[in-house]
Amino acid sequence: MKFIEVTHKDYLLFESVTGSHAYGTNVEGSDVDLKGIFVLPKDQFYGLSYTPQVSDERNDKTYYEIKRFCELLATSNPNMLELLAMPEECIRYKHPLFDLFKADIFLSKACEKTFAGYAMSQVQKARGLNKKINNPLPERRKSILEFCYVAYKQGSKPLLDWLEENDYKQENCGLVNIPHFRSTFALFYDESEQFGFKGITQKDTANDVLLSSIPKGMTREATMSFNKDGYQVYCKEYKQYWDWVKLRNEERYKNTIQHGKNYDAKNMMHTFRLLDMAAEIAQYGEIRVRRPNTDFLLAIRKGAFEYDDLLCQAEEKIVNIQQLYQTAKLPLKPNPKKIEAILRTIREEWYKGS
């Protein structure tokens, strides 16, 4: 189904402004996000194709087919549950049948995981961002050679230093395994280049050192160790860092750098919003979309607090939420039969009217 079609009243069940404008945390330049629920035309629903959702190119406007909407509600999806309690001024269109969706039908102890659990994942994400900002990795990728060491006197020295001191080329080196010594090799050197040694590595992106065939009786030049575990950890962190650089939201990154606290302030703001909403569901059995503490949330977004202080506060909230859900008068999970009954009623009434 085309995006433009679902916004037509013949298909639309519900449409609302969501995100920061609904929470009350919007600032100048904030995007206007729209979410909606639509019902597939009868012939398409009974046909071979099914369209669960459609969105625009930037995903600022997303519309869910009613079945998909119900499926997500059944999993206590925070974004879908919010649609059941949108501020009146945010609602652009609501068909009378949408009133069958009562929030208390869908609230359960599963919200602890979907709201608070997601919030804590954002804390972990903030920790990762903090690490990336404070520990940037050079664009030049280290090679295997920088993780190799040779035995020297009572200790060791970097292979590259040893090669330079001896005026050796790594391409003329030959390695053989030393039995029972993990990632430790006997190193031989062929200055004449007549034995066809493979060298220690031939590619910057290699995952391991190379082994060579060594002529019998040749004298070992050194014993070399390759810190393979350290190299693999480095490669993983290098990829994660430069993937992040490539995909990061530059505007949010600049904001993070400008406020000088080295965490994604917008991410952290949403963490606290979700934690508070999780607590309210357990304590009051309600979804409260419009936040009463917008000044505090916007202060987080502006970088008014230290990173460690916010993490401590978030962890305290998690402990409180766990206690609230232990005593909350909520079912363990939403009742699928009730959800299915609502879905069936709406679809039957919708198609009857059409």
Mean pLDDT, to the nearest integer, of 246-262?
Answer: 56
3-class SS at 208? coil
pLDDT band at 135 (very low <50, low <70, confident <90, very high): low
Query: Which of 38-52, 103-117, 148-162, 288-302 has the least mean pLDDT?
Result: 38-52
The H or E element containing residue 54 is strand 53-55
Look at residue 165 in the predicted model and tell me its pLDDT.
Answer: 96
For 203, half-sphere exposure in the C-beta direction (CA atoms, 13 angstrom radius) is 5
The three-class DSSP label of residue 53 is strand
- In order, the DSSP letters of 160-187 are HHHHHHTT--GGGEEEEEPTT-TTEEEE
Tell me the average pLDDT across 69-76: 96
DSSP-derived 3-state class of residue 88: helix
Looking at residue 195, its pLDDT comes to 93
Distances (CA, A) of 70 to 61, 98, 136, 258, 335: 19, 12, 43, 42, 11
- Say which residues have a Cβ less than 8 Å from residue 227's Cβ, sequence separation at least 6: 147, 148, 149, 183
pLDDT of residue 57: 78
β-partners of residue 177 are: 185
Angstrom distances, CA of residue 59 to CA of 3, 54, 111: 11, 9, 25
Above 50 in pLDDT, residue 201?
yes
What local confidence, expressed as pLDDT, does residue 259 receive?
52
pLDDT tens by residue, 259-291: 555 567 888 898 999 999 999 999 999 999 999
The share of the chain scoring above pLDDT 70, in percent, equals 89
Over residues 323-345, the pLDDT tens digits come to 999 999 999 999 999 999 999 99
Tell me the average pLDDT across 53-80.
Answer: 92
Residue 257 is predicted with a pLDDT of: 46
**Under a CB-based contact definition with an 8 Å cutoff, are residues 34 and 18 in contact?**
yes
Mean pLDDT throughout 230-242? 89
Instruction: Please give the CATH topology (third level) of the domain spanning 1-106+334-354.
Output: Beta Polymerase; domain 2 (3.30.460)
In the chain, domain spans: 1-106+334-354, 108-137+249-330, 144-231
| pLDDT in the model for residue 353 | 75
Give the per-residue pLDDT at 58: 75
